[in-house]
Structure 1
Amino acid sequence: MNPEQTKIADKMKDVKATWDKAPAGPKKDAALKHYQAAEKAHTASNDAETHKELDAVTQALA
């Protein structure tokens, strides 16, 4: 795993932990869609899209 992949994996863990702690509701539901998109982008090795979707998760929970 290269340094960028490690950075993304750590960011995904952090975002997932934040999502897990969020109260149920429409914000959490919207964030889940972005997290799932981030997982898909990560699987496809699309780092830019993964970062974009993880940032969207954070915004959706704000």
Structure 2
Amino acid sequence: MTSVKAAWDKAPAGPRKDTALKHYRATEKAHMAKNDAGTNKELDAATNALK
């Protein structure tokens, strides 16, 4: 999660960064719920949004 957050911090502002933030917030919720599959899915989505 920290590497995705670091990548998000370095990303330029724009729609991709906004989309990645939505996925990152969903990642945090899934992590708090101890939903590993959901966490991994949202981390992948956040990473792909930043590409």
One-letter identity of the residue aligned with 1:61:
L
Aligned to 2:17: 28
Deviations 1:23-58 (A, max 9, x none): 000000000000000000000000010000000001
**Unmatched 5+ stretches in structure 1:** 1-11
Selected match of 2:40 from 51, 56, 60: 51
Q: Please report the TM-score for the alignment, with normalisation by the length of structure 2.
A: 0.98
Give the share of equivalent positions with the same residue, in percent.
73
One-letter identity of the residue aligned with 1:13:
T
Off by >4 Å, runs of 4+ in structure 1 = none
**Unmatched 5+ stretches in structure 2:** none
One-letter identity of the residue aligned with 2:46:
V
Higher relative contact order (CA 8 A, sep 6+): 2
Q: CA RMSD in A?
A: 0.4
Aligned to 1:4: none
One-letter identity of the residue aligned with 1:57:
A
Which has the higher Rg, Structure 1 or Structure 2?
Answer: 1
Aligned to 1:37: 26
